[in-house]
Amino acid sequence: MRREPVRPDPDQVLLARARRVIALQTAAAITVSLLVLGVLALAVVIRSQDSAAATLLRNTAATAEDVADPPPDVWIFVADPAGGITATADAPAGLPDRGALDRVRAGGASETTGIDGREGGYLALTRRRDGRVVQVVMSRHEQHEERERLLGALAAGELVGLLIALLSAALLARRATAPLVDALARQRQFVADASHELRTPLTQLHTRAQLLQLDLRSGAAGADITADVDRLVTGTRHLGEVVEDLLLSSQLGHRDDAREPVDLGAVAADVVAGQADRARAQEVELALLPDAGGPSVVPGHEAALRRVLTALVDNALSHTPAGGHVSVGLGTDHTMVTVVVRDDGTGFDPADTERLFARFARGGHGDNRRFGLGLALAREVVTGHGGSIEAWGRPGQGAAFTIRLPAAGR
């Protein structure tokens, strides 16, 4: 069987390309900076060597009494008016620079000349002194070797710097693209969530709208139309809740870190009041239990915490039959605020406890209970507030969801 080649993820290809470009540009900038510094250092050394050599030649030519005992690697040559030359012993072959001697003896100005020779060559200063022409020659071999050592050190430093630059640039590129990785992941997750969650309610809305259209065209009785309209309104409410969940999911990682005091008791009361009509329509008793402790204030984002409680109450009402009970109770101690949403509805298999908080999870024991994004987002919000959420349930015995959040000022 022939296998189709695996195509690379376009996002990963884009990220890899961005990382390479950032790494190469950063490494190139660091390398060029090191190269410029090396060139500047070499130029300073050469300038210093030239200045030291010129000073040594001038001082020797001005103060030497004879050709004996010159400084190391320096030779003195003296030409008398008759053209005879006295030289320092063991002067290298090819010295002195007779052309410079002849020009200065003939009345020319003092001059500094370079002479070819061993590595680095020689530097000669020829000047007139006391009716004679003095030429001082120094070897530049040591200076040449010093420059060679400096160049070797700069080359090694440049190579090491390049390796360090590449490693550093790769690390910086990875860190620089980390927000992009997170953004792309959130974008893909949001698109997947939206396509998954919106498909069913949109299809239901479209179907109910078509049925309502058919009823209107056929002149159906008012009661039938009213029932269709009620179902249509219920569908739009469900769709709005799905959109709220999707928006909350996309914003969780981008919320301001600033937290404000949130009174969970007041939030719970608002949520219960907002769900009261639905509970009465389903013939379910919905109650807010008296707070068993002190003030239930936590630091956090009120809108996000309100959505958590709304999702839990909505989940309880969705799985509690007529005649059932749903309660929201709060408790506090010195460090934590507790909220418990309890129902005596269909419950769930304890084996499904962790799976309930997965996106688009479904329950077991044959009821095909579906939890969508609500419980998954509830856990994300609660853990993002430094708290925890736990679920308890038994088939046919109801369920309870317990939220624990750090109290304000703790």
What pLDDT score does 170 carry? 81
What pLDDT score does 229 carry? 72
In three-state secondary structure terms, 80 is coil
pLDDT digits (tens, 9 = 90+) for 138-151: 999 998 999 899 99
Taking residues 232-250, what's their average pLDDT?
65
Contact predicate 399/316, CB 8 Å: yes
Taking residues 183-193, what's their average pLDDT?
66
**Of 40-49, 303-312, 328-337, highest mean pLDDT:** 40-49
| Token duo for residue 202 | 């949109």
> Which secondary structure element, helix H or strand E, spans residue 216, and what is its range?
helix 141-218
Q: Give the range of the structural domain holding residue 398, as residue numbers without chain letter.
A: 259-406
| pLDDT confidence bin for 201, thresholds 50/70/90 | low
Polymer length in residues for the chain: 410
- Residue 246: count other Cβ atoms within 10 Å of its Cβ: 18
Mean pLDDT is lowest, of 27-41, 83-97, 231-245, for 231-245
What pLDDT score does 338 carry? 92
Taking residues 348-354, what's their average pLDDT?
84
Question: What domain count does the chain have?
Answer: 1
Calpha distance 395→358 (Å, rounded): 19
283 in a domain, yes or no?
yes
Burial annotation 129-143 (CB, 10 A radius, 16+ → b, else e): eeeebbbbbbbbeeb
- Angle of CA points 298, 304, 309, to nearest 5°: 80
User: Residue 180 to residues 18, 228, 249: CA-CA distances in angstroms?
Assistant: 10, 46, 17
pLDDT(205) > 60: yes
Taking residues 225-250, what's their average pLDDT?
66
Q: Where are the alpha helices (DSSP H) in 219-362?
A: 222-251, 264-281, 302-318
| pLDDT confidence bin for 94, thresholds 50/70/90 | confident
347 in a domain, yes or no?
yes
| pLDDT confidence bin for 191, thresholds 50/70/90 | low
**Which CATH number do you get for residue 350?**
3.30.565.10
pLDDT(2) > 60: no
Mean pLDDT is lowest, of 249-258, 304-313, 376-385, for 249-258
pLDDT digits (tens, 9 = 90+) for 30-71: 888 888 988 998 899 999 999 999 999 999 988 888 888 899
| Token duo for residue 232 | 């249509």
User: Residue 34 to residues 21, 42, 167, 168, 247: CA-CA distances in angstroms?
Assistant: 20, 12, 15, 14, 49
- Angle of CA points 387, 257, 309, to nearest 5°: 40
51 in a domain, yes or no?
no
| Token duo for residue 157 | 């430093």
328 in a domain, yes or no?
yes
317 in a domain, yes or no?
yes
297 in a domain, yes or no?
yes
Per the prediction, the chain carries an average pLDDT of 81
353 in a domain, yes or no?
yes
Percentage of the chain surpassing pLDDT 90?
A: 24
Taking residues 83-94, what's their average pLDDT?
88
What pLDDT score does 122 carry? 93
286 in a domain, yes or no?
yes
User: Residue 51 to residues 54, 93, 376: CA-CA distances in angstroms?
Assistant: 5, 26, 76
Burial annotation 13-27 (CB, 10 A radius, 16+ → b, else e): eebeeebeebbeebb
| Token duo for residue 134 | 């003095």
